[in-house]
Amino acid sequence: EDQEVEDIASYGIDWNDLDDQRLLAHHNTHNPEDGDSTNPFVSNHPDSNLSHVEVPVSRCPFTNTQLQSFLSDVQPLLDSSLYIDMHSCHLLWIQTLALVSSSRTAADTVT
């Protein structure tokens, strides 16, 4: 279960190890300070928009008829997998991929 983190800067810090001078000396020896706070690979404070991903607009490769047919074929598979585990997800992926492949093949032979 996810839990809210109140102080993100100190989240995950082992305070006992932080007080261990031998461990701290080892860390400082093998992790020198770079000093470049703009480099996200060495900065302790990553940019606030680091997880922002731009997704370009794309068009659906199916016609409206093909898409509706696919959705009507997939819906029973989704309804039957209410209690889904990773194995069920894998099988669902294989079944839907087969449906898409067969509908694309049928469309290619028609055109």
pTM exceeds 0.85: no
Q: Please, are residues 103 and 62 in contact by the beta-carbon 8 Å criterion?
A: yes
Structure tokens at 13: 């810090």
Range of the domain at 106: 64-110
The number of folded domains in the chain is 1
Phi/psi for 7 (5° steps) reads -120, 90
**78 inside domain:** yes
**103 inside domain:** yes
**5 inside domain:** no
Task: Name 104's Cβ contacts closer than 8 Å, sequence gap at least 6.
Answer: 61, 62, 66
pLDDT per residue rounded down to tens, the chain (111 residues): 566 767 766 677 788 888 889 988 898 888 777 666 666 565 555 556 667 788 899 888 888 898 898 888 888 887 765 667 888 888 888 988 998 888 766 655 555
